[in-house]
Amino acid sequence: MKNNFVVILILLSIVFSLTACNRNIPSTDLTSIKIDDIEVGEPLSDIELGKYTESDRFIEKENTYNFEEIKIETDDDGIIIQIKANIHDTRVLIDDREVVNSIGEITSVLGENYKNGWYNREQSLKENKYIDSENKLEASFVYDDNGRNLVWIILNKFK
């Protein structure tokens, strides 16, 4: 019984520390980030999806739209809550400036207020994660640790 209590206490500590990690990142304004002129928080009905290549490589989920270039998730009202984009097949704008290749470009535009960590260690992919506490946005920029070239951008609306 005592061992179960200790295990539960350890698990709760881990969960608390993981959820508190994002709170330690100073807030950065992420409202100017657009992917192919798409922003998190806008209605999916305003987006021209015909320009993307439909993909059946991914598991189908409700309110998720999978394309080779981009994956979009919406809430039940059709408002975009997440965008995951391949950096090579989409156009990324921050403050109306196009971001092309490297994580260094992202850092020079958004600053140093990010959390760095592994996205996928086996593939040598790292991420810089920025948080916008005021607008409840999160942006992860995934890049190749060897060449520091961008691979994906993930924009997320959180509650």
Structure confidence by residue, pLDDT tens digits, 41-100? 999 999 999 999 999 888 889 999 999 999 999 999 999 999 999 999 999 999 888 876
Confidence of residue 14 (pLDDT cuts 50, 70, 90): low
Rounded to whole angstroms, the Cα distance separating 157 from 74 reads 10
More confident residue, 6 or 105: 105
pTM of the model: 0.82
Number of domains into which the chain is organized: 1
The pLDDT assigned to 116 comes to 97
Is the pLDDT at 18 greater than 50? The verdict is no
Contact status, residue 62 vs residue 69, Cβ threshold 8 Å: no
Task: Count CB atoms within 10 A of the CB of residue 77.
Answer: 9
Rounded to whole angstroms, the Cα distance separating 104 from 75 reads 33
Range of the domain at 8: 2-157
Rounded to whole angstroms, the Cα distance separating 148 from 128 reads 11
